Amino acid sequence: MIVNDSVEAIVSGQRRFYETGATKDVSFRVRALYKLRDALLAKEKEIIDALRKDLNKSEQEAFSTEIGIVYKELAYVIKHIRRWARPKRVKTAITHIGSRGEIHPEPYGTVLVIAPWNYPWQLAMSPLIGALAAGNTVIIKPSELTPAVSRVISELVKETFEQELAAVIEGGPEISTRLMEQPLDYIFFTGSVRVGKIVMQAAAKRLIPVTLELGGKSPCIVHDDASLRLAAKRIVFGKFTNAGQTCIAPDYLFVQRNVKDKLVSYMVEAIAEFYGPHPLSNPDYGRIVSEKHFNRLSAFLGNGNLRHGGQNDPGKLLIEPTLLDQVTWDMPVMEEEIFGPVLPILTYDRLEEVVSAVNDKPKPLALYLFTQSTAAQDQILNNISFGGGCVNDTLMHLATPHLPFGGVGESGMGSYHGEYSFQTFSHMKSVLRQTNRFDFSFRYPGKGGLKLLRKLMKP
């Protein structure tokens, strides 16, 4: 546990180190990222064990959703960082003939990354990569709800970097509060909407810029022309990975009425294929993170009509993959983000109903649409605002460094991954290099230049 004096000392030490200018050297950043890569490889077995201990993630799930995705992100950033960090020349306006415009990426300074518990490795390491690549010093605050992973993160960072460059501060909400009272230069937060509002309010007191990766009720829409059996497998994968504790998991299913029963039957088959006939006995099925979350999710099981699943084990904090039918918007399960293995099912006849219903709620972090119709795709994508998503798949838009990942409205602000991480943790400083070889007298007061200015600057 870090005491308050140590929090202040770490922040102060990082700020002093940043002021030396060492992190502005791109070669320094590349070396740091290579050191991180070597450390990640050395700790792989430990992090797999920690994820099993905290969340009962299987080795396959741990690697695919936590470890492998970080490897790919790191390799991509190392490959491109030198190009991203170079000043970029931009076009010159006709009113600026003789000058040269440039954009210089520069680090913010000392960055705080507050990581969540649901993907505690990936969602700490990925922002760390971006922050280091951009030339910042970094403090990571892992979630206290996943103590085994938190411990490995702390050990890795301590063994790999000097505290002045990167540090981990463990603890509960009181440590986060203390950290946000410090003179930081940027805060990157992943977590709930409720806590995101607290973070933004704290940051506003010091005018600290923030990225907020939040959540919301992400819809999954299945039109009647979809490939239903394949859609069922991809929906079950997206919803029940990590026992549904995924910020971009399909939160509810909106299926066209005439194919609902067929889709549900295929989903039941997929659940059995993935988790066996008795998921609670499957040693690789994910665990709910805490008793508090288990109790909240268990209360949803009485909403609507139970179509599949519903069994649970309070002692092991397990809840079966559950499908709820005949759900209405006024039920508790539809009033907040579920964040667990419970999928409510609603029906529609026309896509206009879907557009109206989704737009009546806060903008979701993700949206998934299953259809082979280009017109249906255009109707949904052009009329509903959401952070990101997939057509004919779930979750996979998060796993590519070529797409920005982030929310909109209540689901968050800012984005990251790949070059977007570099941009998030960089201030894009504009510079105009003006010529001294000649000058334009019309720009100055009283020189009779208004007529020419009107001509040059007409709409």
> Which residues are the active-site residues?
213, 247
Contacts of 183 (CB under 8 A, 6+ apart): 11, 15, 110, 206
Hey, how many other C-beta atoms are within 10 angstroms of the C-beta on 19? Answer: 11
Tokens of 321: 């993959």
Residue 339's nearest CA partner among 258, 244, 427, 261 is 244
Question: What's the gap between Cα 282 and its chain centre?
Answer: 29
408 vs 369: CA distance, rounded Å:
18
Q: Are 160 and 35 in contact (CB under 8 A)?
A: yes
Hey, how many other C-beta atoms are within 10 angstroms of the C-beta on 39? Answer: 15
Residue type, 206: R
DSSP SS3 for 229:
helix
Q: Are 279 and 234 in contact (CB under 8 A)?
A: no
Reading phi first (left if > 0) and then psi (alpha if -120 to 50, else beta), residue 216 is in left
DSSP annotation of 362 reads P
* CB-based burial, 310-342: b 16+ in 10 Å, e otherwise: bebeeeebbbbbbbbbebeeeeebbebbbbbbb
